[in-house]
Structure 1
Amino acid sequence: MTKLRAPPISLLERYHGDGFQPLYTATVRVTGGEAEHARASGVARSDDGNLHVDLRLPAALGGDGGGTNPEQLFAAGYAACFHGALSLLATRADIPIPGASVAVTVAFGRDPDDGLFMVTADVTIDLPGVERDIAEELVRNTERVCPYAKMARQGIASVVALAD
């Protein structure tokens, strides 16, 4: 079995180019399932087959639960990305962060501007054994590097198009 390892800190080297340079692309297709509604009974599958998740409406939204939901998936992605960026920056700065954890709380709710829907995300970082001032600087730097944090702060480039 191959030993798992962190990505190289060379990922932190700055890119200089005219446009976005993709390093990895993932595609996940969601279908509606039994209720023909992805949030209620959908299935999410990645193009490489590594992700296959049953989606279910949480009880708080009137569903039966019994599966994951988009908010959990977003929280997991955000937390993993932030933790990864945090680890890279800590390694580069030679700051050990054993036991570090990142928790992301995503809330689905009503948007006061249009009366429809929005999500919020709160990120909590635990860095046991790291001095507070060092931890705060590391977190602020991570917030500038993590693509999910940048997306939450600045928005995301997105194209919505009907399939041919």
Structure 2
Amino acid sequence: MSNLYTTRVNAYGGRSGTIKSEDGLLDLPLALPKELGGKGGATNPEQLFAAGYAACFENAVIHVTRDGADKVRDNDIEVACEVGMLANGEGGFKLVVTLEVEIAGVDQAKAEEIVEAAHAVCPYSNAIRGNVDVTFKVFAQ
């Protein structure tokens, strides 16, 4: 099976360094957040993960409704992703995620059904399933 898409990003200098994608579109400084004892003032891996997951999950919602009666369009949905970091009790760390999903044009039960279906197909959800606790807050409009 061949990849549908592949990208490459290099990191230099860890959490206080930089990241750059092979195509040059992503070229950012990184900084350890003030909450973790750093200087802040630049993005960090958790923000980048949250951005990627939110965008990917939003597209998964659109994907799972594409052929249904309750088709969700780009302007019908907003996803906010909160990523937290916790000590894992073994000297390391783990992530926790909350996804807030607002879907216009459907009732609450249908919105929850759509989110459940999107969670089953989203590549980010599939990548972290069983390893990262994900909480959903679903809102119909």
TM-score by length of 2: 0.84
Shift >4 Å, 4+ stretches: none
Larger Rg: 1
Aligned length: 129
Q: Which residue of 2 aligns with 1:21?
A: 2
User: What are the residue-to-residue correspondences of 1:14-163 with 2, within 5 Å?
Assistant: 20-32=1-13, 38-40=14-16, 42-97=17-72, 98-112=75-89, 114-154=90-130
Deviations 1:4-49 (A, max 9, x none): xxxxxxxxxxxxxxxx5311001000101xxxxx212x11000011
SS of corresponding position for 1:56: coil
Q: RMSD of the alignment, in Å? A: 1.5
Cα distance in 2 between the residues matched to 1:119 and 1:65? 19
> 1:108 and 1:154 mapped to 2: Cα distance?
16
Note the residue ranges of structure 2 that are not aligned, 5 or more in a row.
132-141
For 2:37 and 2:53, how far apart are their aligned partners in 1? 26
User: Structure 2: which amino acid aligns with 1:104?
Assistant: C
- Any stretches of 5+ residues in structure 1 without a counterpart? 1-19, 33-37, 156-164
Distance 1:94 1:30 in 2: 44
Identity of aligned residues (%): 40
Residue 92 of structure 1 aligns to a residue in which SS? coil
Question: TM-score normalised to the size of structure 1?
Answer: 0.73
Question: Mean Cα displacement is larger for which, 62-71 or 125-134?
Answer: 125-134
How many angstroms apart in 2 are the aligned matches of 1:94 and 1:65?
46
Using CA pairs under 8 Å that are at least 6 residues apart, name the structure with larger relative contact order, 1 or 2: 2
Q: 1:109 Cα shift? A: 2.1
Q: How big is each residue's C-alpha offset from its partner over 1:66-122, in whole Å with a ceiling of 9 and x where there is no partner?
A: 11000000011111111111112222214243331111111122102x121111112
Relative to its length, the structure with more strand (as a share) is 2
- Taking the aligned partners of 1:92 and 1:60, their CA distance within structure 2 comes to 44
